[in-house]
Every structure is written in structure tokens, then in C-alpha cells.
Structure 1
Amino acid sequence: MRAAGSKAGFTIAFAALTVFLLFPLVWVLLMSFKGYGDVIDYPPKFLFGPTLENYREVLFGGGGGIESTSGEFSGYLLNSIIVSGGAVLLSLLVGVPAAYALSRNRIAGGDNLAFTFLSLRFAPELAVIIPLYAIFQQIRLYDSYLGLILAHQLITIPLVIWIVRTFLADVPVEVEEAAEIDGCGQWRVLLSVVAPIIRPGIASAGILAFVFSWNNLLMGLVLSGPNTRPVTVGILQAIGFDQVRWGWMAAAAMIAAVPGMIIAIYLQRHLVRGLTMGVGK
């Protein structure tokens, strides 16, 4: 009886936590299908006539005012895909070898250097964004894809190095030594032997790095311009001088969440394995 009561309590607590976590997402989803009158109605409506007008305005534009710039959202979406995808690709190309070198103590003071990389993730972005803006203006990287990709390395590289370094700690050194005896160099050992073993960890690091890069607002707000404005900044177009288009903002937020969800679903198998690897130890 006590076990049954404990199980029921756990189920209720889990259901309550699930509702608490999912309610904001469901609320935004419902808001994206509401007209302006239904959005501002009080008390809030849960039963209403749904409309796709908000999505049409976001993707294809509309009339005047804020709506006239709504059709540009697809361009913001493409900018975010280019910047976040490029940032993750560069981080993996640099971060995986760096994590391997640090985990195998190939570099003097590797632990201190690894903590230095991690401290970049802890540091507030406001501490570096103004110097970055001044530097990018001087070297003509402001409002460029390359500039944003390089700036996002402050977000993505620490994540990649520390996540991959954790998985490398579970790889037996004897496997690498055997490959070296067979005549493999360090790069071939990393690419042909180690990388396939830690592929779930690399996938996990890539997904998390993409999510953090995709959701970043400050970098795009300060370092981007009309040519490279990302989706997080594009959503702010819903705020006008006289009103906030809540339905438009909700629809834009739901569309902006799609790429990350697609990547997570596509790499779900590797992500689950990566996040649970080594739990049994």
C-alpha cells in the first residue's frame, strides 16, 4: 500500500511538473493562432476561432506599419541558420581536437587552460560585447556572417570542449596506444579511432552549441545589421511605438523553434546516448 501511494504521488508530481514546464509553450502556441482581439481579451480565452493570419504575416508580410517588415522574417531565419550552423561547424572543427589534446595532457597546464575556456562561458556577454563591437567596426566584420560566426565562438567553443572532454575521459587510452603501434599518427587516431567512439558526445555537444547559438540575442543585437540580423532580433520587429503585436511575436517564436526541434529529433538517438553515456559507472 505504501509503495502504491508513493508511486501515485510520484506520478502526480511528475504530471504537475510537466504541465508547469509545457504550459508557457502551449500558451505561446495558442496565442499564435489568435487574432489581436482574442490575444488582449480579459479574462484570457481558451476557446476561440483560430486563424493563420499571424503566420501569413510573418512569412509573407502584410500591409503597413510593422506588417510591412514582417515578410523579412524568412530572411532573419536564413541568417540564423547560416550563423548558428557556421558557428557550430567551426566549433566542432576546433573544439574536438582541442578537447582531445586537453584530455590526454598533450598541452602543459591543460587543466588550467580548460578552465580558462570554461570561464569564457561564465563571463557575462556585456563584458566583451562593446570591445567586440569596436574591433569589428575597425576590421570591417560588423554586419557580416563571418563576424557573427567568430563572435559566437565565445558561446559554442567552451561547450564543445568541455562536453567532448568529458566523453574522452571514458575512452581507454589502450585503444589509442594500439592504433599508434599499428602506425597511426595522432590525427588518424583521433579521426579514425576516437571520433567514432565518442560520436554521441560530439552530436550532443553540437546540438547544445546550436541551441545556445540560435537563442542568443545580445550578439545579434549589437554586432549584426540589416544584412545579417538573426531571428532573435527579428522577433523584436513585433514591438512598435504604439503597440506590441503579440500574435505576430508568438507565431515568429514558434517558427524560430522549428530548426532546433528538427535537428534534435533527427539526432535524437545520438543525443540520448550522449547524455546517458557513462551513467552506469
Structure 2
Amino acid sequence: MVKLSPKPIVYATSGGPVRNRTIGGDLSKRSPRRRRSLSHSQFRMQRSFSLASQLAKRRGFSTNSEKIVASVLFERLPVVIPKIDPVVYAFQEFKFRWQQQYRRRYPDEFLDKANARGKGDYQIDYVPAPRITEADKTNDRKSLQRALDRRLYLLLYGASIGAPDKKPIWHFPEKAYETEETLRKCAESALESVLGGLSHTYFVGNAPMAHMVVPPTETAQVPSLKRFFFKSQVIATNKFNIGKCEDFVWVTKDELMEYFPDQAEFFKKMIIS
């Protein structure tokens, strides 16, 4: 009868014995396994996940007394080319004359052949449309056929979110954020409720262009709200059936400041053009 050796079996390679690679030996005598160090990307991912979980827990306490509102800056782009500033026009004339002095000279026979050709039917005389329309003469701010070389913005007159004593005031199309997937969806709902559809609109980007924090007033104890502005543009139409308001106007940037004297500086920075 062959007796088994109590010693552990040690495997070896051609280079010599390998330590601590035993079968049947005492596990307590093995060297502790080193922990694998996290890479830089894994560390950042783990840290961002922990921060996100902390913010998710605290989110319920950060917006209890605040209301989020999505407003839409609905604009009509210029229809005609704006007039050139006199300074710019003078510089363009000087540049053209300067280039004519040092332009390349061609033989006369080439120039005569080019001038001998007829103008053709492509040069048709036309009368340009007037820049000043009837809406400009009567100051009809409900019409889009005015200020053709300027941008126009839609303003509504009626009940607004956060208005003191719930009085009707001038404001942009707006809606309080409820259960929409994103703030842009909320802004689209606000504009759709006013126009009846979004077939002739185009929203510029998914992020808001600006935001305003409206603190509560002393006279009316209303919770503070954060108003986020989204830009949208008129596409392929010059008339809308605007509803859900007592009145509306299409105004330029300069005329817009007349309706918001207290927030004039804010809107001047928000509306660059």
C-alpha cells in the first residue's frame, strides 16, 4: 500500500520552482492578492455616479418653493435686405475703385467680343417692392407685413404666470413645466397652444437661450420662479390665427423695450440682433 505524502505538490517550470502555486496546501499561508487599481476614466465615472446619486436624492428639496416656466421668443426674420449703413457704403465704393486701379488688363479684342454679345432674355426689367408697407404707415402692429428689414417678435396680452394680483400683462408665450420630457417640449406646448399648431415654426436648438429668476414681491406673496427662454422662428407664412390671449402684437427689438421697461437691459443682452 502506497502512502500519500502530506507535503503539498509544487509545480515547477523549466526556469525553476514557482512559489505559492500549491494544490492542497494551507490557504492561510498564501500571499494576499493585490487589488487592481482603478484607471483614471473608471475613477471619474465612479465619482460622477456618486455625485449624480446625491443630486437625485437632494432634487426633491431644491425646487419645492420654485416654479419653472418655459417662454418662447417667437421671431420673424427680415424679409428684405436691410439698408446699408452710409459708412459701410462709402467703404465699399472706395474698395471697388481701388481694385479697379490695380486690376488685370485684358486685350481690347477680348473685351469687344464680350460687349458685342446681347444682354439676353435673362435681364428682365422689374420694379422692386416698396420697403414701407401700408402696415408701416398705419402702425398696425398686429400685421407681419411691417418692418420688412427688421426682426419681429410676438407678444401676448393676458394672464401671465407669476403676475401680481393675476392682472393681464404683456408677456411671451409661456407654460409652466409639469410632466414634459424636456423643457423644449414644454416650450413647444406653450407655442402650440397659442398658434394651434407648429407646422410653420422652427425651434433653434434644444437648450434655452437665456433664463431669468423672478423673486417674490412684497405685495403679492407668490413663489419665486425661473423663466427659461427658447427661440423659435416663423417659417413660410405671413399670418397666424393667434388665440388664448386678449391681444397680441408683432414688435421690433426697439419697440419691445416699451413693453418691458424694467427688464430692458436683460432683453437687450438676450436679443443681440
Please, what TM-score do these two structures have when normalized by structure 1?
Answer: 0.26
Higher helix share: 1
Please, what TM-score do these two structures have when normalized by structure 2?
Answer: 0.26
Q: Which has the higher contact order (CA 8 A, sep 6+)?
A: 1
